[in-house]
Amino acid sequence: MIDYSALFRISYGLYIVCSGNREHGNGFISNTVFQVTSEPVKIAVTCSKKNFSADLIRQTGAFSISVLHTQAAPELFGRFGFRSGRDFDKLAGLDLHYDETTGVPMVTDGSMAVIVCRLEQSFDVGTHLIYVGETVQTRMLDPDKTPMTYDWYRQNRKGIAPPNAPTYVDKSKFGMK
Amino acid sequence: MIDYSALFRISYGLYIVCSGNREHGNGFISNTVFQVTSEPVKIAVTCSKKNFSADLIRQTGAFSISVLHTQAAPELFGRFGFRSGRDFDKLAGLDLHYDETTGVPMVTDGSMAVIVCRLEQSFDVGTHLIYVGETVQTRMLDPDKTPMTYDWYRQNRKGIAPPNAPTYVDKSKFGMK
């Protein structure tokens, strides 16, 4: 038996994962960003196969991770978590940096640190892909902020995971409120 | 350039990952446990190839995850994080449950929830393996506790990651204190 409340005790941060370039970039909200090795520093991100970013990360061969802080504007979640980059330029009007070597955009709005990875491996786990990249650059933007955790987001913003998230729960199926 | 302080802004929980059976079980402390799909519920754990558990998880074909809470005894970290199951029975004397279908032990000491997965895939990312399993059982042990995060552990227990952890930083290399 699966008690979904137990799964909610796994801890996550919240991030914007971007790929593409200066002409055409895109990003999505992710809670599944994890360092998987330290020598070299490799980081894994999980992405729904339905996400526009799934193809774009592969095409770009790189991705950036923006670590959201607790003062990040709620608007970022609507923009990156609940709309598709197929029919909307999610990066329009935001503060962006571009990585010199890979060219990937990094969102700096609402972010306390950014990490850039060159894509090395992708693993198919069913509905989602795990992308693993070697870190080529990290930068601290605002060390005094507090990283936003998924738990904090649920408690303080009453936020939920969008349907493409690895941790999405269809509450109608389980009689949850 | 890699600023390691930026990597510390990635959020993690803390877990004991166990495998084996009633006669011979073992476990290790992990901070890299994350759900990767929701239909079905699949969970990834990262394990150093040097860990005794790396082989044991494969042999067992299953693993359990105990979600540690903030009142977990410091002794658990010494036992599971800094000693090897090759020369020490890490599970001796602990409160254990055993999963009925897979037989894997679950540590309930210091834990607020347990999750049992049947191993489905393993991915080689260099020094570490990512094991992905389908969840066969979850159980809430103590919903009123607070999950221990790696950030909380670092702040309150002054804990560090052991050398086999995916997030280990050899501070002597980087002039860090």
Q: Are B67 and B153 in contact (CB under 8 A)?
A: no
Contact B149 A149 (CB under 8 A): yes
Q: Minimal Cα distance from A134: which residue of B? A: B125
Q: What is the ipTM for the molecules in this complex?
A: 0.92
In whole angstroms, how large is the CA radius of gyration of chain A?
A: 16
The answer, as to whether pTM is greater than 0.80, is yes
Token pair, residue A68, equals 């959201």
* Segment (H or E) for A65: strand A62-68
* Chain A interface disruption, residue of B3, B10, B116, most A CBs within 10 A: B10
Q: Which of residues 111-170 of B touch A (CB under 8 A)?
A: 112-115, 121, 123, 125-128, 130, 132, 135, 137-140, 143, 147, 149-151, 165-170
Judging contacts by C-beta atoms under 8 Å, the chain A residues touching residue B35 are: 7, 10, 32, 166-167
- Whether residue A141 is predicted with pLDDT greater than 90 in this model: the reply is yes
Q: Is B175 on the interface with A (CB under 8 A)?
A: no
Residue B83 has a pLDDT of 78
Cβ separation A46–B34 shorter than 8 A: yes
- Tell me: the pLDDT tens digits for A1-51? 889 999 999 999 999 999 999 999 999 999 999 999 999 999 999 999 999
DSSP state of A8: T
Q: What are phi and psi of A101, to 5 degrees?
A: -85, -40
Closest by alpha carbon to B111, among B76, B79, B82, B154? Answer: B76
Mean pLDDT of B21-32: 95
DSSP label of A34 = E
* CA R_g for chain B: 16
pLDDT at B177: 43
